[in-house]
Amino acid sequence: MQSDNTAELIETMFKVAHDLKDEMSFTSDLRHLSILQIRALHFIDCSDKKVSMTDIAEYFGIELPSATSLVSKLCDQKLVDRISDENDRRLVLIVLTGEGKKLLRQAMVQRKEKIGKLLSYLSVKQKSDLLSIFKTLDNELQNK
């Protein structure tokens, strides 16, 4: 009977996640943006509605002051703008600037290249197995 290697799997998952985070850091041409900042730009860009501070806070599971700080840093770099809602001037909406869109596209290209390089170390079968595992885990997480 094989021993259960769950503990080793958990430790390895955490190590790989940590190493991937380091590997996925963005270079100086992307202004040393954090992964959270890139994800925020992506969320704003891909949203099918205008994004508010509350939307950002809820999406990332952070408090409103933290979302405000995140957006302020992006505003300081002129990657996003704050605009007032046409119907409710008290509501502040967040939109990407042209520079924000350009930088986001660069980040996505860079991310694909880095992940592609990492995946190149795997065989076709290993990639297929990994995809199957991720899909299974994603399905379980979505059904919670």
Domain ranges for the chain, please list them.
6-142
pLDDT of residue 1: 43
Residues 127-143, mean pLDDT to the nearest whole number:
93
Q: CA 111 to CA 24: how far, in whole Å?
A: 7
Round the average pLDDT of the chain to a whole number and report it. Answer: 89
How many Å apart are CA 38 and CA 44, to the nearest integer? Answer: 10
Domain 6-142 belongs in CATH node 1.10.10.10: yes
For 52-104, the pLDDT digits (tens) are 999 999 999 999 999 999 999 999 999 999 998 888 888 889 999 999 999 99
pLDDT cut 90: percent of the chain above it: 61
Per the DSSP assignment, residues forming a β-bridge with 83 are 93
First-residue to last-residue Cα distance in the chain: 32
Do 83 and 44 form a contact (C-beta atoms < 8 A)? Answer: no
